[in-house]
Amino acid sequence: MRGPHNIWRLIRTGATMERTGAMTQAMDAMDAPKALRVMARTLAWPFRWLGYKGDPNLPPVTRAITALGPAYIKFGQILSTRPDVVGVDLAKQLQVLQDRMPPFPRDAAVKTIEAELQAPISELFSEFSEPVAAASIAQVHKAVRADTGKAVAVKVLRPGIEKAFRTDIDAFYFMASVIEFFSPASRRLRPTDVIAHFEGVVHGELDLRLESASASEYAANTAKDEGFSVPAVDWNLSAKRVMTLEWVDGITASDIDEIVAAGHDRSSLGPRVLQMFLTHALRDGFFHADMHQGNLKVAPNGDIVALDFGIMGMLDEYTRRVYAEILYGFIKKDYKRVAEVHFEAGYVPADRDVDEFARALRAVGDPIFGMDASRISMARLLSYLFEVTERFGMQTRTELILLQRTMVVVEGVSRSLDPHINIWEVSKPVVEEYIKSNIGPRALSRDLLRTATVLARFGPRLPQLAESLLIAQSKANEEPTKPSNHWQAAWLVAGGVVSAGLGAAVVLIFG
C-alpha cells in the first residue's frame, strides 16, 4: 500500500546508512559537495538509533545495503561495476552483493523444491549440495539428476522474497511521489513511471517460469555467436520458484586474478562482453539486462557464459534503429545527425533548436574519442548529460531504461576485464554492421514486403472495409453518401493493391 506510512521505511534507510558508517563512506567515494554531506548527516543523525545494525563483519556500505534488503542490493550491484563513479575500493567491496550474499538454509531450499516439483528430493536428485552461490533474490545449488546422472544447477527463490520486495517498492513509490510534488522540474524524468517499470521487471524476476522461458529464447538467439554461450534449461525440473539449468564450469568474471592465472586474454574478453551485448540488443531486440560480473563466467575454453535471466530487455525494431543511428552518429562524430534523430523520434520537443542541441552533444562526445577509457570520468559525463537533457526538456524514455542501465553496467564489466578499452572503437563494427543491414535499400525492401504481406492478408476484406467506411461516414454526416466518399473508398482499395505491388517490385530490384 502506497502512503505516508512509507516515511518510516525511508527514515530507517537514512538511519541505517548513518549507523553503519555508510553515509560517510559513500559521500567520500563519490566526492559529494560539502553542503550535501552536511544536509544528509543532519537529517539522518537524530534517527541513527533506528537504523539496522547489519553484519559488522562487512564494510560499511555493503553492510547497510544488505541490511536494507533486496531492492537496495540490486542498486548496489550496479554500483559495483562503476569504479570510476564510486572508486575502486568501494566498487570491489560491493562485488560481494553479486553472488556471495549470505545463503539461506539448504533445508529451506529442499522444502521449496519438493513443494514446487511435487516429489521427494531423493527421487529428483542423487546429489544436492549446500548453496554454491547466493544472490539477492535466489541461490544456486549444484545437483545431479537421479535419472540421468547429469550435473545441473538448481536455482531456488529465497523464502519470503516477494513480501520483502513489495515493502521496498512501496517505499520507492512514495519517495517518487514526494520528489514529484516538491520538485516540479523532476517530473520530466517521470520518477513514478521509472519505479513502475522497475516493479514490472522485479515481478518477472520473481517467477522462475518466465526466467526459464527467457533463458530458452536467449539460448536460441545466441546459439551461433562464437565465444558466447547460454546453459540449456531443464524444463522437467523447473517451476515458479525453482529453475534447473545444465551445470557450467568456469571462473566468475569478477575473479580477475583467476582469469589471468588460467591464461585467458583479458584484452579480448572485455571487448567481447560489450560487443555481444550490442549485438543482442540491435540484432535480436532481446538482451541480458543484468550483465554484472556475478552473472558472467569465463569457461575453460574461453567462452563467456551468461547466467541469471530474470531481467531481460526488449526493444522493438523502430527503437533499435533509432538507438543504432544515435550510436553511429557519435562514432562518426556526426552530432547534427544525432540531434536530428532525437527530434525525429520525439525524444526532444520540436520547439527546441536542433543546431544548439547538436553542439551540446558534441561537448559530450568529442572528449571521449581517442581517450584511454581509464581517463574518462563517467560520473562527470553523466552529470553533464543530465544538464543537457534538462536544458532541452527531454522526457525519460521508459522503454530505454533497461538499455541505458545495462549499457552502463556492461561498460563497467568490460572495463574491469580490459582497463584500456575504448567503448566507441569496440562498438563501431557491431553498429556499422547493423546500420548496413537495417538502414538503407535492403531495409526498405523488407519493410515494404512486410507491409505488402499484411495488406495481402486483408485483401479479400478490402471491399467490405471500404463499404464499412462509407456507411460510417454517411451516418456521421447524417446525409446520403457523397461522391467524394466513393473516391475515398476507391483509394482505400487501390492503395492496398499498389502497396502490395510496390513491395514485390522493390524485393525484386534490391534482392
Domain of 183? Answer: 102-135+137-247
Decide: 108 and 159 in contact? Cβ < 8 Å. yes
How does pLDDT run across 324-380, given as a tens digit for each residue? Answer: 888 788 778 898 998 898 888 888 888 899 999 899 888 877 776 656 555 655 545
In this prediction, residue 380 carries a pLDDT of 54
My answer on whether 257 and 317 are in the same domain is yes
Low-confidence ranges of the chain (pLDDT < 50): 379, 481-483, 491-493, 497-511
d(CA 52, CA 391): 40
In this prediction, residue 437 carries a pLDDT of 81
In this prediction, residue 511 carries a pLDDT of 46
My answer on whether 271 and 204 are in the same domain is no
- Enter the C-alpha cell of residue 345: 523520434
My answer on whether 146 and 221 are in the same domain is yes
d(CA 227, CA 327): 24
My answer on whether 255 and 239 are in the same domain is no
Q: What is the pTM of this model?
A: 0.73
In this prediction, residue 504 carries a pLDDT of 45
My answer on whether 395 and 460 are in the same domain is no
My answer on whether 273 and 221 are in the same domain is no
418 catalytic per annotation: no
Residue 196 makes CB contacts below 8 A (sequence gap 6+) with 398
User: Helix 161-182 to helix 7-19 angle, to the nearest 10 degrees?
Assistant: 100
Q: Which of 46, 79, 99 is the last residue of a domain?
A: 99
In this prediction, residue 399 carries a pLDDT of 60
Q: Which of 400, 415, 439 is the last residue of a domain?
A: 439
Q: Which of 376, 406, 439 is the last residue of a domain?
A: 439
My answer on whether 429 and 503 are in the same domain is no
Which residue carries 533474490 as its cell? 137
My answer on whether 84 and 36 are in the same domain is yes
Q: Which residue among 84, 168, 234, 290 is the active-site one?
A: 290
Decide: 141 and 153 in contact? Cβ < 8 Å. yes
In this prediction, residue 379 carries a pLDDT of 47
Residue 106 makes CB contacts below 8 A (sequence gap 6+) with 128, 130, 131, 141
Decide: 301 and 227 in contact? Cβ < 8 Å. no
My answer on whether 310 and 456 are in the same domain is no
My answer on whether 367 and 413 are in the same domain is yes
In this prediction, residue 116 carries a pLDDT of 96
In this prediction, residue 304 carries a pLDDT of 97
My answer on whether 273 and 312 are in the same domain is yes
Q: How far apart are the first and last CA of the chain?
A: 57
My answer on whether 278 and 421 are in the same domain is yes
Total structural domains in the chain?
4
How does pLDDT run across 222-248, given as a tens digit for each residue? Answer: 999 999 999 999 999 999 999 999 999
CA distances to 29, 38, 42, 188 from 35, in Å: 16, 5, 11, 25
In this prediction, residue 505 carries a pLDDT of 46
By DSSP bridging, strand 228-229 and strand 304-306 are parallel
In this prediction, residue 260 carries a pLDDT of 93
Decide: 45 and 23 in contact? Cβ < 8 Å. no
